[in-house]
Structure 1
Amino acid sequence: MMNETITEKPDFDFENFTFGVQATDQMLVAKYENGSWSNFQIGPVKNISLSPLAMCLHYGQTVFEGLKAFKTVDGKVNIFRLESHFKRMNRSLERMAMPPLPASCFIDGIRELVNKESHWVIDDPEYALYIRPFAIATENKLGVDASHEYLFMVVLSPLKAYYNRPLRVLVETTYIRSARGGAGAAKNGGNYGASLLPQQKAKQAGFDQIIWLDASEKKYIEESGTMNIMFILNGKTLLTPALSDSILDGITRDSILKLAPELGLEVEERTIQITEILDRVGAGEKVEAFGVGTAAVISPIKEISYKDELFETYVEEDAVMYRIKNKLSEIRRGISPDHFGWSDLV
């Protein structure tokens, strides 16, 4: 099904690089036409050619995923939660009126691609190989309609710490990420494009990220920048917004929710008013706040700005969020047993 290629050890500085700029040597490409996916190929990374009429350039039919491969302590490569990402990709495709991918393309294709590029996965607990599957509409037509032709591609890129220090975040009270009934639960390009301006403004004001509130009342917490958001209250309770069609069903979010009881934490998924969190901080409670996502894993938040008032959250070395991160890393690297069945070894 896939083309056979041979690659050499990459001439690459694994100590000094910028995430997302360097791809590995090979990529996967598949086409959808005449009602089915076909022509799955693995070959050298190269530019693609599109007509200026390609529908992805006009009507937003783009969907992507992000997952990681890790080197385990026994020398294998672990593609973490591959099947979960496959299922979420297809949910996003359905929401964007795009055809679902067969497992033979997504799961088997990624396994084979990562296996061929396994020399890019080094034995370093702070390192991972980032896997970016994505699909775009390619039919050449102007007209608001679902395309009949698509490309599915997978590229790989080396990744180290996404955020290497605790974050300062701004609660966004003007713009929204998504509204109920919209496409907020789908991992599509439009959601991220619409977030760029408010994030840019936040950075210009000295913040690293933003906290998104709900669209209708602008008082309930939804996400943080490109991540789900969680809180730990007084070292005992893990609190996170309940899922809805305006919140992405994060795979890292799901992993942490399943791990939390093993670390003695109570778990609450519910609506959370921003004032509840800030009132707890103001009352002297120990509140940990952090973003969670595939690229970032766990990103501690040290300051939250809301209506020109600054609130400091707990980020000291004994914070529970670091224990969660370490436990997740141990499973990914094969140090702790994976009784959840999350690991896909190649």
Structure 2
Amino acid sequence: MAFALNLYPVTYIARYNPETEKWDEEWLESDKVTYDELMAMSEADRKAVLDKRNQMGLPSVSYTSQYAYSCFEGMKGFPTKDGGVAIFRPEENGKRFNNSMKGLYCPAFPVDQYVKASVEFVKRNAALGYVPKYNPDWEKTDYADADSIYMRPFMNSEGAIGVGCSKQPYVVICATTVSAYFKKGLDGAVITNRIRATPHGTGYIKCASNYVISALAKKEAEQAGFVECVYLDAVHHKYFQEGSSCNIFFVLKDKTIVTPELGDTILPGITRKSVIALAKEKGYKVEERPVSVKEVQKKAVECFVTGTAAGISPMSSITDLNGKKTVFGEGFGPVAKELQHELKGRQYGSLEDPNHWNTVVIPGNK
């Protein structure tokens, strides 16, 4: 599993108050066990601590638990080379989270409150040692095995039953551990005949319900020996959309980088947006437009996917619905490798951050 339910001790919870039209905030500290103390415990004692942290006291019967009526974010905090800690582009996650809540017709969480809460969340957990230390050896592999803080803000509805929209939602920020996103031993991507999102649906929202289809399609891909599945559009069934939980890019023979254009069926990824900006800075031509299977089979020389958990991950091949396999090669192609080096270098502070994407939580001292 890429994710483990090993929650940090401090959790942020806010709830919308319709009388004041503001969000009432609360900090839950399940325990004061530091990271070093946790690691020194026996397996049984550690499990008892983690089980306690996993209990947040949210309604068990709600629009969220009954109908997957929820939205969430994934973002990361990084230990930086100068000894500090920073969160990567939290304001962008805040904007998307706000837009997702509006799309669900519930009160939307303010972006500035989202960023402020995220910064304070990392500070409080860092005080208990739950922030990885920077390791210079990470630079040798462009941070392929580097540690980070995986933050999961999410919306949960009030207690309810019967299909409806939330009027007093909760917003929670927790954090957990994350390892390599894709399973080892599997290879390449396969096009699935499942449809992730349809026009006028919720594909543009980071909505919990969207990920049911993703889980099924990815499970089927893994059972067939592939590491990832890729969706086609719901109307023509010939244009790429995205992966199970990541955006997709192709590099053509002339070095043009193409990626499906955003719309109401594709999630506007923060990593996607950052990669497009970095590619343009490096002088690459980037096109956001419909990308067909046939075009990729004829012209593409690299394929990679992007996401908070996936980072930039190369796909060695894509197999279509008829079993035709388009091979791009093992590991990173030259374009993806250059972009990975730049993205990770900026996130971990080994390269300059000219766009000021990192929000500093703990200043460095080197």
TM-score, with structure 1 as normaliser? 0.88
TM-superposed CA distance for 1:58, in Å, is 2.2
Partner of 2:284: 265
Which consecutive unaligned segments of at least 5 residues does structure 2 have? 31-52, 136-142, 362-366
1:85-115 CA-partner distances (Å, limit 9, x unpaired):
0000001111111211124541111101101
Distance in 2 between the 1:95 and 1:317 partners? 36
* Contact in 2 for aligned 1:63/1:135 (Cα 8 Å): yes
> What is the distance in 1 between the residues matched to 2:104 and 2:158?
14
Equivalent residue number for residue 135 of structure 1: 155
Residue identity in the other structure for 1:62:
S
**Alignment-mate amino acid for residue 302 of structure 2:** E
Residues 1:37 and 2:23 aligned together: yes
Task: Report the equivalent of 1:288.
Answer: 302
Name the residue aligned to 1:10: none
Q: Which residue of the partner structure matches residue 48 of structure 1?
A: 56
> Is residue 322 from structure 1 mapped to residue 337 from structure 2 by the alignment?
yes
State the 1:205 CA deviation: 1.3
The secondary structure found in structure 2 opposite 1:290 is strand
Give the Cα–Cα distance (whole angstroms) in 2 for the partners of residues 254 and 214 of structure 1: 21
User: Is the alpha carbon distance of 1:134 and 1:264 closer, same or farther for their aligned partners in structure 2, counting shifts above 3 Å?
Assistant: same
Residue 280 of structure 1, CA deviation? 2.4
Q: Secondary structure at the match of 1:61?
A: coil
Report the equivalent of 1:188: 207
Does 1:20 find its partner at 2:20? no
How many Å apart are 1:116 and its aligned residue? 1.7
Give the C-alpha shift of residue 55 in structure 1. Answer: 2.1
Whole-angstrom distance in 2 between the partners of 1:98 and 1:163? 34
Quick check: 2:304–2:313 contact (8 Å CA) kept in 1? yes
Distance 1:335 1:235, change over 3 A: farther
Residues 103-138 of structure 1 deviation map (CA, whole Å, 9 limit, x = unaligned): 454111110110122232321441111010001112
Deviating more after overlay: 241-250 vs 327-336: 327-336
Deviation at 1:37, TM superposition (A): 1.4
Aligned to 1:62, the other structure's residue is in SS state coil
8 Å Cα contact 2:15/2:171 also seen in 1: yes
Residue 335 of structure 1: how far off its partner (Å) = 2.0
Residue 92 in structure 1 maps to residue 100 in structure 2: yes
Give the length in aligned residue pairs. 323
CA–CA distance in structure 2, aligned partners of residues 203 and 130 of structure 1: 24
Distance 1:104 1:249, change over 3 A: closer
Superposition CA RMSD, Å: 2.0
- For residues 80 and 90 of structure 1, what CA distance do their matches in structure 2 show? 17
Compared with structure 1, are the counterparts of its residues 154 and 51 closer, same or farther at alpha carbon in structure 2 (3 Å cutoff)? closer
Contact 1:167–1:300 (8 Å) recurs in 2? no
Match of 2:317 among 303, 314, 331: 303
Is the contact made by 1:128 and 1:160 (CA closer than 8 Å) also made in structure 2? no
Q: CA deviation at 1:303?
A: 1.5
Q: Which residue of 1 aligns with 2:188?
A: 168
**Matches of 1:98 and 1:324 in 2, distance apart?**
37
- Counterpart residue number, 1:122: 133
Counterparts of 1:223 and 1:111 in 2: how far apart (Å)? Answer: 30
Answer yes or no: is 1:76 the counterpart of 2:84. yes
Q: CA deviation at 1:164?
A: 6.9
Amino acid at match of 2:212: G
The aligned residue for residue 226 of structure 1 is: 245
Return the alpha-carbon distance in structure 2 between the equivalents of residues 46 and 229 of structure 1.
33
Residue 269 of structure 2 is matched in structure 1 by: 250
* Contact 1:168-1:301 at 8 Å conserved across structures: yes
Aligned equivalents of 2:180, 2:69: Cα separation in 1: 30
TM-aligned CA deviation for residue 233 of structure 1: 1.7
Confirm or deny: 8 A CA contact 1:40 1:105 kept in the other structure.
no
* Paired residue type of 2:9: D
> Deviation digits for residues 181-222 of structure 1, max 9, x if unmatched?
110000010000122222222211111111100001110001
Q: Alignment partner of 1:193: what SS? A: helix
C-alpha change, 1:24 and 1:177, in structure 2 (3 Å) is same
Structure-2 change in CA distance of 1:52 and 1:337 (3 Å): closer
